[in-house]
A = this chain, B = another copy of it.
């Protein structure tokens, strides 16, 4: 470990050069050390693998999977070559890995490719799995055939905990969908699936002790224990831990359909309807007896050392309204519901520990009375995390990594677990080395209010890879342009794993249109994004209807528009070049003309389908923007300032084009605005 770190420091400038000068190196996450040589190693039908050193059935399956994947990527049907004399790729793990994957197990590997062969070495199979994913990302067609570059890579993660939370309560996500997402996680070297298994809207795990949990709280949509065991084995094969979360004492309405006696208020309870009021009664012993039995069962089912008890967003309304609970608080001298929750968490922590698990929960569970063994998952931010570390608690960052907020990848990418922003004060700057080591990593979060099995892939991918890189790669790797270039390549790469983050959109557009030719609809879909943060819904609309169809444009489009980013970059280039770069102007004009002409093409389609009608004003705005942008360019070409009245008119258009419509934002307003504003400037 020590040697590797020294090497890292020395070779780092080489890596930076490589990352910047060679955008064709489509690695994501970027390894900690890369030295690019000259030449390539061919990948052809003679490709063969030899596994020396340690191996077991799980590693063998990993190697087989690699071979299948390499075959998919190249179209070459590799045939079994038992004990090849001159293997193309030699794999060597020194020793085995833990039966149950442990936090902090060595995940490092070294990959050395010459023009005649490759060698992948690692202390244990976890590193081998990561190295094989790196190898797959290096494969490219060249003039002579498929190749990988001559290269030397030494790699290890920055943080030991790199997770993705998937909420399967708000919308049930079947195992096949989760499995392809595990494949995606493995491709970007994430190692924890945080499975948010219960919430107000559904309880998703079979309990043999308490069958009414799913019997009444799941609408029949849950995983059996056999399925869960098989799923955990699938994850283990891919170097991924499965962390179960059962969110209590709040977010627990689904428990109360079968077991209303656990709740702080009399039922009956229904899955439908909103509010987060339903909450467990922490003042009765029966609650702890139930939880003891339940956690005993789940602790056996889920082998991971950690057990997530949620603990977030406890709205104490039911506690306040229950005289028995008020009396309990008074009798115990508790001044707030926070103190009552802390009491609950202390009791809970003892139960979790009794069943040999480490308790983990959201920010709210942090309380000095809890032992330092617990882990805090922070949705509040790095300062909160640093504060916990200073108090002796380990922690994870999820603030800034909420994929359901529809942020661009670059915004997630800029969030560092150790720093408030990438440029200003480090939150962790004043921490000791030991305190810093308590910041274990982070987790991207896919909350499922607005996703279904159909569109969840496109809400996770490719943006999740930006979080994965933040958690794996050296802190210094943070150039957003390089990230986007590699993210695009990765997005294609992920297609080979069966993820539907690209293909589902097309199917959904076809559904909305009911016709084969959707080219004009696609032009519009390419430049809009869903509204951001939690603005899709607000309480004035009543509770979210979790059974409503998610088949509108907002559900189909990508969270981030590549076209918008592209036109934005083009206009920057054009403006910075003093409006003289004709090639760039031509590219801008191509976009603008297509938009200007698009509404006429799209209009007949929009009229036909109830799912498209709401897009009419957006389509009109886009055409108006295209026309305005072209006029601005015409004026710029003539180097004559535009009439002020025209500009005023256009800027009014811009203003209204910025407003949300059909819960969508037109993402190409700003660059057109920039052209219009420039057209009025006398400084040319």
| Residues of A bordering B, CB below 8 Å | 45, 72-77, 79-80, 140-145, 219-220, 452, 454, 488-489, 491-492, 495-496, 503, 507-508, 510-514, 516, 547-551, 555, 607-613
Q: What copy number does this chain have within its complex?
A: 2
Per the bound structure, the CA–CA distance linking A549 and B47 in Å amounts to: 13
Per the bound structure, the CA–CA distance linking A337 and B513 in Å amounts to: 61
Of the candidates B495, B611, B613, which one forms a contact with A510 in the assembled complex, judged by CB atoms under 8 Å apart? B495
Known: A73-B511, A77-B547. A613 touches B492 (CB 8 A): no
Per the bound structure, the CA–CA distance linking A488 and B611 in Å amounts to: 22
Asked whether, in the complex, the Cβ of B514 is within 8 Å of the Cβ of A140, the reply is yes
Of the candidates B495, B503, B513, which one forms a contact with A141 in the assembled complex, judged by CB atoms under 8 Å apart? B513
Per the bound structure, the CA–CA distance linking A176 and B355 in Å amounts to: 41
Per the bound structure, the CA–CA distance linking A612 and B555 in Å amounts to: 36
Q: Report A448 CB to chain B, min CB distance, Å.
A: 13
Known: A45-B549, A79-B219, A219-B79. A512 touches B141 (CB 8 A): yes
Asked whether, in the complex, the Cβ of B511 is within 8 Å of the Cβ of A611, the reply is no
A interface majority secondary structure: loop
Asked whether, in the complex, the Cβ of B452 is within 8 Å of the Cβ of A549, the reply is no
Asked whether, in the complex, the Cβ of B549 is within 8 Å of the Cβ of A77, the reply is yes
Q: Report A486 CB to chain B, min CB distance, Å.
A: 11
Which of A77, A79, A510 has the most chain B CB within a 10 Å cutoff?
Answer: A77
Asked whether, in the complex, the Cβ of A141 is within 8 Å of the Cβ of B514, the reply is yes
Asked whether, in the complex, the Cβ of A610 is within 8 Å of the Cβ of B511, the reply is no
Chain B residue at smallest Cβ distance from A143: B610
Cβ contacts under 8 Å, A548 to chain B: 45
Asked whether, in the complex, the Cβ of B610 is within 8 Å of the Cβ of A142, the reply is yes
Asked whether, in the complex, the Cβ of B549 is within 8 Å of the Cβ of A74, the reply is yes
Cβ contacts under 8 Å, A77 to chain B: 452, 547, 549
Known: A75-B551, A76-B551, A496-B507. A143 touches B513 (CB 8 A): no
Chain B residue at smallest Cβ distance from A24: B514
Known: A73-B511, A75-B511, A547-B79. A611 touches B141 (CB 8 A): yes
Per the bound structure, the CA–CA distance linking A117 and B74 in Å amounts to: 51
Asked whether, in the complex, the Cβ of A142 is within 8 Å of the Cβ of B496, the reply is no
Cβ contacts under 8 Å, A555 to chain B: 75
Per the bound structure, the CA–CA distance linking A144 and B608 in Å amounts to: 9
Per the bound structure, the CA–CA distance linking A452 and B76 in Å amounts to: 11
Which of A219, A514, A607 has the most chain B CB within a 10 Å cutoff?
Answer: A514
Chain B residue at smallest Cβ distance from A516: B488
Q: Which 9 A-B pairs have the closest CB atoms?
A: A75-B551, A141-B609, A141-B514, A76-B549, A75-B549, A140-B514, A488-B516, A145-B610, A503-B503
Asked whether, in the complex, the Cβ of B454 is within 8 Å of the Cβ of A75, the reply is yes
Per the bound structure, the CA–CA distance linking A74 and B608 in Å amounts to: 15
Per the bound structure, the CA–CA distance linking A412 and B50 in Å amounts to: 49
Q: Report A11 CB to chain B, min CB distance, Å.
A: 28
Known: A141-B512, A491-B516, A496-B507. 17 other contacts (CB 8 A): A45-B549, A75-B454, A75-B508, A75-B550, A77-B549, A79-B219, A80-B220, A141-B514, A141-B610, A142-B608, A143-B607, A143-B609, A143-B610, A145-B610, A492-B510, A495-B507, A495-B510
